[in-house]
Amino acid sequence: MLLMSDFSTSVPRAVLSVSPQMWLTEGDSVTLICEVNGSSTGWTFSWFTVTASSGNRNPFKLLSDGIRGARGNYTVSSAALNHTGVYVCRAERGKPAYNTTISNTQLIWVTGVSPPVSLIISPNRTQHFTSVSVSLSCEDQRDSTGWRVTIYTDRYGLEDCLSVWGSQTGSTCTIRSTTQYDTGVYWCESESGEKYHPVNITVHFDVILESPVHPVTEGDTLTLHCLYQNTTPPNLRADFYKDESLIQSQTTEMIISTVSKSHEGFYYCKHPERGESPKSWISVTVFHSESQISVLHILSSVLAVSSYLLVTVVMIFKCCRMRVASVEEQESAI
């Protein structure tokens, strides 16, 4: 059994990292890498998820295939929505077994094109000012009961809304007065442990970036604003950046009229006097309609048939040449 007492100061220490990144789209590949400080041989590695259960002395759940012998990597080849969560690892060796400490926590979140439940945020943005009220609710078109808002923050770790603020009504969680400690990842979780629609929420003072909560669909319009606390009007002229590169300067808003996959990345805004906003990851979803998929299937079928016909023609041509050559040899012999 893995207990909280395993969080000791003894060495060696297990260190968990993720490759290539922790924000994923459904179907992506991701690898959890567990390493032991100061040593690399003879270890057996195990991987666990962290459960949001307040007061539980053993909040770690071993993955069904979470024991991987001497291999320090745990790979998910095709990420599903339910892979969203918080992970840790541990290593052991020798008889009797000598354990490392529990590793640092590593968050992975997976977004899908059409999740069965959506996390609705009011105000409708991913960045929020301090000392304001923010409402989060899980909305299912079929039935909104049985869902709760789950939170992962540096201060609280993994918890549900009721454990942190004690203000969840049904599937709605209300933060009455935000602080920077509320910065973290929020998602909807069912009673059976299904996890959907993770959103990275940042609480900051003075300057924030207003960006969409949901992934932007390729071809749509993306509009960003730089907002300022206790300022009228709330949006002033600012510079807008993507992945540390200036893309638009001294404007009240930034508009990308036709979004493509290349626009995916980290965005932030900066005012020369008020400072800069935190960074927000903007995801772009590539949508293929049924007609597009049908055309792709037809093209692939045509190419496959064309290749087959080409090979057949070449074989027939070679056979004909061999027969002609054989007849010419016989006539020469006569």
Using one digit for the tens of pLDDT, what is the confidence trace for 134-159? 999 998 766 656 788 999 988 888 88
**CATH class of the structural domain 114-205:** mainly beta
User: Fold match between 4-110 and 114-205?
Assistant: yes
- Kindly report whether the peptide bond that precedes residue 59 is cis, defined as omega within 30 degrees of 0: no
Greater pLDDT, 202 or 64: 202
Greater pLDDT, 101 or 54: 101
Cα–chain center distance at 94: 36
Number of Cβ within 10 Å of residue 309's Cβ equals: 10
Using one digit for the tens of pLDDT, what is the confidence trace for 252-300? 999 999 999 999 999 999 999 999 999 999 988 887 554 443 433 444 4
State which CATH number among 2.60.40.420, 2.60.40.10, 2.50.20.10, 3.40.50.1370 fits the domain covering 4-110: 2.60.40.10
DSSP state of 278: P
Q: How many CA atoms within 13 Å lie on the side-chain side of 217?
A: 6
Three-state secondary structure string covering 22-86: CEEECCCCEEEEEEECCECCCCEEEEEEECCCCCCCCCEEEEEEEECCCCCEEEECCCCHHHCEE
Q: Report residue 222 as tokens.
A: 């993306």
Q: What is the average pLDDT value for the chain, to the nearest integer?
A: 81
Between 41-45, 150-154, 192-196, 313-317, the lowest mean confidence (pLDDT) is in 313-317
Domain boundaries, the chain: 4-110, 114-205, 206-289
Which architecture characterizes domain 206-289 according to CATH? Sandwich (2.60)
Between 89-98, 221-230, 238-247, the lowest mean confidence (pLDDT) is in 89-98
Radius of gyration of the chain (CA): 28
Greater pLDDT, 265 or 8: 265
Rounded to two decimals, what is the model's pTM?
A: 0.72
